[in-house]
Amino acid sequence: MTVAKVPDDEFITLFETHGPHETARRLNMAMPKVAIRRRNLERKLERPINGPRHPNSLPAQHHPHRIQLDIGEGVVIIGGDAHYWPGEPSTAHRAFVQFIREMKPRAVIANGDMFDGARISRHPPIGWAQTPTVKQELEVVQDRMQEIADACPRGCRKTWPLGNHDARYESKIAATLPELAEVHGVSLQDHMPLWEPCWAVWINDEVVVKHRFRNGIHATYNNTLHAGMTMVTGHLHSQKITPFTDYRGTRYGIDAGCLADPSAKAFTDYTEDGPKNWRSGFAVLTFRDGKLLMPELVTVWDEGHVQWRGDLVAV
C-alpha cells in the first residue's frame, strides 16, 4: 500500500494505535516519511498526533523553545562556536558563507556561542587582558550574522540554538537589573532579528541539533547513546563524527567544530597558550527521501583553504 492511497484519517488511526514503527511497516514507508507526514498533519489539524505510550516513555514535547524542521530532500549546514571578536573573519566563517551560497541549503543552524561575552563572563579577567567591549562584540556579531543570512537562499530557515556564551548577555542583565525585563535590547535576539532562537532544532524527528549535551572526549558517543537519536552539538570545538549502530539502525554523534580560529586571541589566555584538541569548521547534513545520509565535515586546512570531500577548496 502506498502513502498516496492512505487517507489522512486512516494514517492517524494507525499512528495513534500502533506507533511510528508499526505504521511504517504496515504502509511500507520509510520512518522519516512517517515522521514528515505526521508533522504535516499536526500543522494541518493544529493538534499533536501521538502513538500509544510505553509505560517508560516520555510524552511528546511541543514548546516554543524547540524548532521542528521537515526536510525531505536537501541540505542543512550547521556551524557554531564562532565567538566573534572584532577583526577579520576566520577562515571557517568565510567558508561557511561560501558553502551556504553555493549549496543553497534548506536550513542553516548557527549552533550557539556566536557571541563571546568576554567582559561579562563569570570568570575574572586574567591580569590586565584587553578584551572587546560588549558593544564592540555586538556590532561584529551583527555584521557576521548578517553576512551568513545574506548568503542564504530564499526560504532557507535560519535558526539559532542558544549557547552558554550567548546566555551571558541576558543572564548578566537579568541578574543585575531585573527591572529591564522585556525592554527592547536586553535580549540577544533583539540584535539578531533574522534568526529564530531556540534551545534545540529537531529535524524529521531523527536529528537533534543543540549547543551542548554531554561533555568529555567521548561526548559525541555519549550524546547519541543517551539521546537515542542523531545529535549535532558544538561547545567542545573538537569536530568529529561517531557512528553508533544498534538493532534500530545507525545514528551519529556529531561535533561540528568551531567557526572560530582555535589560535585566536580570544582563547590564548583562557587556555594559557596550551595545546587545544580543537578543529575549525562546520557540518553538512544531506537528506534523501527524508533520511539522513552519512554526515560530512568541512575542516579548515590553512588560512585560505578548507578540506571537503577529499579535496582542498579555496575560500
Q: pLDDT by residue (tens digit) across 188-226?
A: 999 999 999 999 999 998 999 999 999 999 999 999 999
- Residue 268 C-alpha cell reads as 590564548
Dist CA 116 CA 132 (whole Å): 10
Residue-level pLDDT at 268? 87
What pLDDT score was predicted for residue 55? 58
Is 66-314 in CATH node 3.30.460? no
pLDDT at 2 over 50: no
Handedness of CA 268, 272, 278, 282 (dihedral sign): negative
Question: What whole-number distance in Å separates Cα of residue 152 and Cα of residue 106?
Answer: 9
Question: Percentage of the chain surpassing pLDDT 90?
Answer: 74
Question: 78 pLDDT exceeds 60?
Answer: yes
Average pLDDT, the chain: 92
Which of 35, 31, 63, 28 minimizes the C-alpha distance to 49? Answer: 35
Nearest-angstrom CA–CA distance, 161 and 153: 20
Residue 256 has pLDDT above 60, yes or no: yes
pTM of the model: 0.86
Tell me the per-residue pLDDT of 116-170, one tens digit each, with 9 for 90 and over.
999 998 888 888 888 999 999 999 999 999 999 999 999 999 999 999 999 999 9
Residue 159 C-beta-side C-alpha neighbours within 13 Å: 26
